[in-house]
Structure 1
Amino acid sequence: MTVRLLAPAQAELDEAIAWYAEQAPGLGETFLIETLKAIQLIEQHPQAWHPLTMYIRRCRLRRFPYSVVYTQDGTDILVLAIAHQHRKPLYWKTRLN
Structure 2
Amino acid sequence: MNSVKFYPDAKEELISAIQYYENCQAGLGSRFRVAIELATQKILSSPFTYRTLKAPFRRYLVPKFPYSIVYSIEPNYILIIAIAHNKRKPHYWLKRKPY
Please give the range of the TM-score, normalised by the shorter of the 2 chains: over 0.9
Task: Please report how far the alpha carbon of residue 75 of structure 1 lies from its aligned counterpart in structure 2 after TM superposition.
Answer: 2.4
Count of aligned pairs:
97
- 1:28-74 CA distance string (max 9 Å, x none): 00000001100110001000111102211000011100000000111
Aligned residue for 2:96? 95
Q: TM-score, normalised by structure 2?
A: 0.95
RMSD: 0.9
- Bigger mean CA offset, 47-56 vs 76-85: 47-56
Gaps of 5+ in 1: none
Structure having the higher strand fraction is 1
Deviating runs (4+, > 3 A) in structure 1? none
Report the residue type matching 2:44 in the other structure: E
Map 1:77-88 → 2, pairs under 5 A: 77-88=78-89
